[in-house]
Copies of this chain bind each other. A is one copy, B any other.
Amino acid sequence: MEPWTTAPAGPSSAPEMPSPGGNPVGRVEEVLAQFFMDGKLRAAATDPAYLTLWEALEQAVAGGKRSRPQLVLAAYQHLARPAERAAENAVLLAASFELLHSAFVVHDDVIDRDTVRRGVPNVSGRYRQRALRDGADADTAAHAGDSAGLLAGDLALSGAYRLLRRVRTAPERRERLHDILDEAIFASIGGELLDVELSRSPVMPTPERMCRTARCKTSVYSFEAPLEAGAVLAGADSSVVAALTSSGRHAGIAYQVVDDVLGVFGHHSRTGKADWGDLREGKRTVLLAYAATRPEWQHIAHLIGSPHLTAAEAEHIRRVLTDCGARDHAISVAEDNARRALDFLEHDGVPSPLRAELTALLQGVMDRVRPE
């Protein structure tokens, strides 16, 4: 259910989530490597078992695509005055967002009971496997996995604050950056909760509530906050910061809706997950929220969330979702948000190269659901 990472890693993912490009993402890797070296040394001094948890978290962080750091760095680099530029601060800020992302991913996997992420066992999965190897029964092993995932996520969350604290800038900017991080955490936890609660409820949420969930869960910490924070650190005018934040908000919603469409209509090779996993989980999406308002809903309502959903039933649902207009509706919601995102980038204070980068990124997102 976490969005960016549903795109496959590696070069093939370029058309789906193009890099803003030209950013010192390599330095982000170094900062993260240093963070883990320090953590592992301290953990090893505590107990060998603690070192293992740090290694598991490091592996989880290693799998990320660094999309959020790239947004932070793009905003910062294009907006900072050359004289004021202190790239190291932007790198720390960017790395902080990556740890925040990892915290949410690891905790989201615990909540979703996922044990695999990007094709390899995640933190919970590794601990679960180990417990099974040690002879634990399935329930005990799952519990060992969840406990490790919970604790690893806490480490990552704390790490995000820790890296942000190392950013050296004027006190008011610093406060602002911390406010942005706090707000991103506040929104994301709310979004995750809504995701859980809406999936649990037999009543389909309204399309508006689904959009609010998408915004909270994905958009704020993945798009809005990284752009806002990069711009704030760069000392950009408040109107530019606001324009980028608003653009990020709509880009994030577009991204989530596209991801939801691909979660139902996408192919395994593109999304990196089972074709009808979202349908089997009964994941609440704008797609289903719209379909639930249509008379055709009665033909599929009983199948949504069925743990034994077959390929044929999934195909039937897809046909109904297409025929009742849900697919078109979802794509139009995504297109509408993408358009608004582009509109906000028209602000005079947004430098053209930044506008071009963000436009290309958005284009890449939308191309995933546009007819070829």
Interface residues on A, range: 35 or more
A42 touches B186 (CB 8 A): yes
Listed residue (A49, A146, A154, A194) with the most chain B CB atoms within 10 angstroms of its CB: A154
Interface string of A191-205 (1 = CB under 8 A from B): 011101100100000
- Cβ-based interface call for A190 (8 A): yes
Instruction: Enumerate chain B residues within 8 angstroms of A182, measured Cβ to Cβ.
Output: 158, 161-162
Chain A, interface SS category = helix
Complex Cα distance, B233 from A273, in Å, reads 51
Bound Cα distance from A49 to B194, whole angstroms: 7
Verify A194–B147 contact, CB threshold 8 A: no
Give which listed residue, B146, B190, B196, B212, contacts A43 with CB less than 8 A. B190
Name the B residues within 8 Å of A154 (CB-CB).
103, 107, 153-154, 157, 185, 189
Q: Nearest chain-B residue to A175 (Cβ)? A: B165
Q: Please indicate the chain B residues that have their CB under 8 angstroms from the CB of A194 in the complex.
A: 46-47, 49-50
A242 interface hit (Cβ, 8 Å): no
Task: Looking at the assembled complex, report how far the CB atom of A20 sits from the nearest CB atom of chain B, in whole angstroms.
Answer: 28
Interface string of A299-331 (1 = CB under 8 A from B): 000000000000000000000000000000000
B-chain residues with CB within 8 Å of residue A85 when the two chains form the complex: none
Our pick among B186, B192, B212 for the contact of A158 (Cβ within 8 Å) is B186
**Known: A151-B189, A178-B165. Contact between A212 and B157, CB under 8 A?**
no
Chain A 20-50 interface mask (CB, 8 Å, partner B; 1/0): 0000000000000000000100110011011
A200 adjacent to B144 (CB under 8 Å): yes
Nearest CB on B from A363, distance (A): 30
B155 touches A189 (CB 8 A): yes
Interface assignment of A143: CB less than 8 Å from any CB of chain B: yes
- CA separation between A64 and B143, bound complex, in Å? 27
| Chain A positions 132 through 170: 1 when the CB is less than 8 Å from some CB of chain B, otherwise 0 | 001010001001101110110111011001100100000
- Interface status of A368 (Cβ within 8 A of chain B): no
Residues of chain B contacted by A49 (CB below 8 angstroms): 193-194, 197
Give min CB distance, A314 to chain B, whole Å: 22
A190 to B51, CA, bound (A): 9
Residue A91 CB within 8 A of the other chain: no
The interface bits of chain A over 49-72 (1 if a CB of B lies within 8 angstroms of the residue's CB, else 0) are 110010000000000000000000
Nearest CB of B to A265, in Å: 28
Inter-subunit contact B131/A193 (CB<8 Å): no
Residues 264-292 of A contacting B (Cβ, < 8 Å): none
CA distance A189 to B162 in the complex (A): 15
The distance in angstroms between the C-alpha atoms of A209 and B47, with both chains bound, is 8
- Cβ-defined contact, B193 with A136, below 8 A: no
Bound-complex Cα distance A347 to B39 (A): 33
- Extra contacts, 5 of them, besides A151-B189, A158-B182 (Cβ < 8 A), are A113-B143, A154-B189, A155-B189, A162-B182, A165-B178
4 closest A-B pairs by beta carbon, nearest first, are A50-B190, A111-B147, A158-B185, A49-B197
Interface residues of A (CB under 8 A from B): 39, 42-43, 46-47, 49-50, 53, 103, 107, 110-111, 113, 131, 134, 136, 140, 143-144, 146-148, 150-151, 153-155, 157-158, 161-162, 165, 175, 178, 182, 185-187, 189-190, 192-194, 196-197, 200, 209, 212-213, 216
